[in-house]
Amino acid sequence: MTSIDRFIEAVQKHQFKEAHELLEDDWKAYKKIGLKDHARILKGLINGTTSIALFVKGRPPQCLKIWAVFNKYMPLLDTTDLENKERFIYAKELLEKKFAEVVKI
């Protein structure tokens, strides 16, 4: 199972803090080899889960600020060639759905 699949599974189970950790190593690896847009996509997904986790912990102002980072980087999915791209798109859509369910904004 790939890290994006483990990430999706954690988000589906509302394990937002855990999901955050599942993409950290890949995010760091992409940064290290200079794949900036790949890294930014992962940063966006990581921030999406962090945002929801903060809301659950009762910190809505920080939640909305970090959700803005998610929104900033997700358009890169349209222009970046990722392996398993459809899974990353699904993860984005899943986070948007979970955000709407949990945050109810």
Encode pLDDT of 39-71 as tens digits.
Answer: 999 999 999 999 999 999 988 889 999 999 999
| pLDDT value of position 84 | 94
Question: Both tokens of residue 11?
Answer: 């988000």
The band of 105, judged by pLDDT with boundaries at 50, 70 and 90, is low
Contact yes or no for 67/99 (Cβ under 8 A): yes
Provide the 3-class DSSP secondary structure of residue 104: coil
Tens of pLDDT, residue by residue over 3-15, are 999 999 999 999 9
Contact yes or no for 23/2 (Cβ under 8 A): no
The band of 104, judged by pLDDT with boundaries at 50, 70 and 90, is confident
| pLDDT value of position 32 | 96
| pLDDT value of position 11 | 97
